[in-house]
């Protein structure tokens, strides 16, 4: 089976492999690109592994970049496209579940494949030898299984990031994690604390933007989220005994992610929108649970978590705002005034994103009031669409007068001017018909 596998290696990668082989070295495409090709997915990059040393690689190609010489990696440029060419290597002893103490080059492909994390990531290919699959990667693909190369416990001890990578690949592919690998994840989950926030962030985003964001539950069950995201663990046990809900806060969160597009900001929003519920929960005399103002708590916790995981400011801004306003206008029958005010308050950039967030939230709740909730949401969307179509003013930017107009009308720049502009905006939000220069300047005269 394995030898019949044919992979369509792009011309430029093939050129690099051919050049290396003609010079007497071994060379293969390896890792993620082999896995993705077999799965019928389009690889984002084609990595090449070779018996040639970095110096030997550099001698063969006219344009190269020293990307990571200490790890044996040279980037070879073909036309303008770069390909990472890495010398077969053995990662020496690992110091601290993070960095190999030393990297040793080897002339054996098998040694290089052995250092890789998962069987599905440890296959190599070239047209001459076909697929080189020493650890049963192909079989695991057929069985839809994520399994470590070698002894799982040892592999996670070498590099704890692999714990999160294993769960992430299982979510991306919808594969089950093999029993020994899963056992080792549970046992070594605490060692993830040695991994940098940046690397955890990358894996977390890949996991939750995958086709199975709900596999985050596996991370929870194995004690993995506890290490870098205990705020999520706190939600898993919180029941929601009221008519709106049928899941615990944690389960509702997982469902919420499944009901929104696999976009980083959307998925993070659903992941974080109810983090404040454990803190906000009260139970009344009738035994009904309430979560007053949980959005505000959630926003605060989301900011803390996102900062801790070193997310960029733009992502933090968007997610926090969506979290804060995810329940805005809930239960309110909208009219144009209400919606214009909402857009003004929440911001033109964020407001339209809330429709998807609200929809996902509703779909992850009980069916009791679902029709009514979705109907009301559709009304909000309609009214908003009309405001956009009519280009009605919802911000200072769209006001028919500017600061310069006011200066001309004899108003001095400063606090007073700001107060007047905001007063005018208030009037226009109430009555868009007032948004002409003439009418607004007439209003300004009254202020004077």
Binding residues vs ligand ATP (CB under 6 A): 31-32, 44, 47, 116-117, 121-122, 159, 161-162, 165
Torsion angle of alpha carbons 397, 399, 400, 406, nearest 10°? Answer: -90
331-337 contact pairs (CB < 8 A, 24+): 331/376, 332/376, 333/376, 333/379, 334/376, 334/379, 334/380, 334/383, 335/383, 336/383, 336/386, 336/387, 336/392, 336/432, 337/429, 337/430
Torsion angle of alpha carbons 224, 226, 228, 231, nearest 10°? Answer: 140
Pick the closer one to ligand ATP by CB: 84 or 251. Answer: 84
32 binds Mg ion (CB under 5 A): yes
Give, to the nearest 10 degrees, the angle between helix 249-258 and helix 354-363. 120
Structure tokens at 150: 């070698």
State the binding partner of 278 from ligand ATP, Mg ion, none, CB within 5 to 8 A by kind.
Answer: none
Quick one: residue 163, left, alpha or beta (phi over 0 = left, psi -120 to 50 = alpha)?
Answer: alpha
Q: How many residues bind Mg ion (CB under 5 A)?
A: 1
Pick the closer one to ligand ATP by CB: 199 or 244. Answer: 199
In whole angstroms, how close is the CB of 116 to ligand ATP at the nearest point?
A: 4
49 binds Mg ion (CB under 5 A): no
In whole angstroms, how close is the CB of 196 to ligand ATP at the nearest point?
A: 12
Pick the closer one to ligand ATP by CB: 162 or 252. Answer: 162
Instruction: Say which residues have a Cβ less than 8 Å from residue 131's Cβ, sequence separation at least 6.
Output: 2, 3, 5, 7, 34, 123, 124, 125, 138
Pick the closer one to Mg ion by CB: 32 or 432. Answer: 32
120 binds Mg ion (CB under 5 A): no
State the binding partner of 432 from ligand ATP, Mg ion, none, CB within 5 to 8 A by kind.
Answer: none
Residue nearest to ligand ATP (CB): 32
In whole angstroms, how close is the CB of 44 to Mg ion at the nearest point?
A: 6
Pick the closer one to ligand ATP by CB: 184 or 377. Answer: 184
Pick the closer one to Mg ion by CB: 32 or 136. Answer: 32
User: Using CB under 5 A, which of the segments 27-35, 171-179, 303-311, 426-434 binds Mg ion?
Assistant: 27-35
In whole angstroms, how close is the CB of 4 to ligand ATP at the nearest point?
A: 22
Are the CB atoms for 276 and 299 separated by under 8 Å? Answer: yes
* Residues of this chain that bind Mg ion (CB under 5 A): 32
């Amino acid at each position: 089976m394995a030898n019949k596998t044919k992979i369509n290696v792009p011309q430029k990668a093939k050129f690099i492999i051919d050049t290396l082989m003609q010079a007497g070295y071994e060379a293969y495409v390896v890792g993620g690109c082999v896995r993705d090709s077999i799965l019928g997915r389009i690889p984002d990059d084609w990595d090449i592994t070779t018996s040639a040393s970095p110096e030997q690689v550099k001698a063969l190609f006219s344009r190269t970049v020293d990307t990571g010489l200490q790890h044996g990696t040279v980037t070879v440029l073909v036309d303008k496209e770069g390909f990472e060419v890495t010398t077969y290597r053995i990662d020496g002893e690992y110091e601290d579940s993070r960095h190999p103490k030393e990297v040793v080059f080897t002339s054996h492909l098998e040694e290089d494949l052995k250092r890789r994390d998962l069987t599905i990531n440890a296959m190599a290919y070239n047209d001459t030898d076909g697929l080189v699959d020493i650890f049963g990667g192909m079989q695991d693909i057929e069985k839809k299984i994520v399994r470590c190369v070698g002894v799982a416990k040892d592999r996670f001890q070498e590099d704890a990031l692999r714990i999160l990578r294993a769960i992430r690949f299982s979510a991306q592919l919808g594969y089950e994690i093999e029993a020994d690998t899963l056992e080792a994840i549970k046992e070594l989950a605490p060692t993830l604390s040695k991994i940098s926030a940046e690397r955890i962030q990358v894996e977390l985003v890949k996991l939750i933007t995958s086709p199975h964001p709900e596999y985050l539950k596996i991370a929870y069950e194995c004690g993995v989220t506890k290490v870098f995201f205990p705020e999520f663990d706190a939600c898993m046990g919180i029941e929601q005994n009221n008519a709106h809900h049928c899941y615990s806060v944690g389960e509702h969160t997982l469902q919420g992610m499944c009901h929104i597009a696999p976009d980083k900001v959307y998925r993070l929003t659903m992941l974080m929108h109810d983090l404040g519920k454990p803190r906000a929960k009260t139970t009344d005399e009738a035994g009904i649970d309430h979560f007053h103002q949980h959005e505000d708590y959630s926003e605060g916790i989301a900011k803390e978590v996102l900062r801790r995981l070193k997310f960029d400011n733009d992502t933090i801004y968007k997610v926090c705002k969506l979290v804060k306003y995810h329940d805005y206008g809930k239960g309110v029958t909208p009219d144009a005034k209400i919606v214009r005010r909402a857009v003004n308050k929440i911001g033109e950039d964020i407001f339209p994103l809330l429709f998807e967030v609200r929809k996902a939230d509703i779909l992850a709740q009980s069916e009791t009031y679902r029709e009514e909730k979705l109907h009301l949401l559709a009304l909000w969307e309609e009214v908003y669409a009309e405001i956009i179509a009519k280009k009605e003013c919802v911000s200072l930017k769209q006001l028919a007068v500017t600061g310069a107009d006011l200066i001309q009308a004899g108003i001095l720049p400063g606090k007073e001017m700001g107060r007047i502009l905001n007063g005018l905006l208030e009037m226009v939000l109430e009555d868009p018909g007032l948004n002409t220069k003439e009418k607004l300047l007439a209003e300004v005269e009254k202020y004077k």
